[in-house]
Structure 1
């Protein structure tokens, strides 16, 4: 698997990677009449999203290739998707997507937690997505019905796991072990980011 592109979350002026989430669903393009096509090995699910968080969770930008013919076809025909929140998509050849939605300002009623990270503390893996402890700053954002109710810095746990990985190469294994129960309980949700 190729290294995956990460959704972005703009929080307190910093563009962060969305490491993982738990709780409810975030954004479902199919619910908006979209048929995403997987055209890039670095984007397995077929779409890329930029969120923004202030007191609420917003979807600001969405990029995807939209199939206007059956997505199951060997090579579906791509085109513009339907308007979302009054915003029509545009084709962005520079980014390589047939449907780019900018300035969506779509409020999301997400209930759950997001783990966001910024600042690479070590080299990113060549495949898949970087683990949560790869980030210098790891934060947990907790939402009820799209309202931010808590933002907690979890960088100390990320640093301890980085050190564990550096010394013993077993950060994933130790997080699944009962010995790491206090670290797991520190989070509002079970993100299972070590799997």
Structure 2
């Protein structure tokens, strides 16, 4: 699997990668009349989003290839999606998405947790999505109806797991053992680290 493009989240003036979320639906493109199409192996979900947090969670920008309605074909016809929050899409000039929604400023009523990271502390795997502990700064943001209720810095436990991996090369295996219990219990939500 190709390394996936990550959604981004602006928090405290820093652009972070959105590693994962749990507890609720973050943004449902289908609820807004969109039909995302996977346009490359680096974007399996077919949607790339940029979020922002300033006391609450906002969707600022959305990029996707939208499948137009029509008879089922081997390859869907692509076009622009419907307007969202009063913003009509345009073609993205650099990335080629057929539906680019800049400056959406859409409030999200998300209930759950977001795990965000910034700064590479070690080499990332070349395939799939990088594990949470590869980030120099790892934070969990907890929301109720879109309002930020807690921000917790988990950088120290990520650093401890990186150090164990550096010494023993077993970070992936250790997640399934009692040695990672402190890691698992530190988070407000189950992000599926041990699946």
- TM-score scaled by length of structure 2: 0.96
Of stretches 157-166 and 10-19 in structure 1, the one that deviates more from structure 2 is 157-166
Tell me which stretches of 4 or more aligned residues in structure 1 moved more than 4 Å: none
- 1:175 maps to 175
- Whole-angstrom distance in 2 between the partners of 1:3 and 1:166: 22
Residue-by-residue CA offset, 1:9-45 (whole Å, 9 max, x unaligned): 0000000000111100100100100000001110001
Taking the TM superposition and a 5 Å limit, the aligned residue runs for 1:16-165 are 16-70=16-70, 73-165=73-165
- RMSD between aligned residues: 1.3
C-alpha spacing 1:71/1:169, structure 2 compared with 1 (3 Å) = farther
Equivalences, count:
195
Deviation at 1:54, TM superposition (A): 0.9
Q: CA deviation at 1:167?
A: 1.4
User: 1:136 aligns to what SS in structure 2?
Assistant: strand
Between 66-75 and 142-151, the greater mean CA deviation after superposition: 66-75
Q: Structure 1: which 5+ runs fail to align? A: none
Does the 8 Å contact 1:20/1:193 carry over to 2? no
* Unmatched runs of 5 consecutive residues or more in structure 2: none
How far residue 76 of structure 1 moved from its aligned partner, in angstroms, is 0.9
**Deviations for 1:152-179, whole angstroms, at most 9, x for unmatched residues?**
1000011011111111122122122123
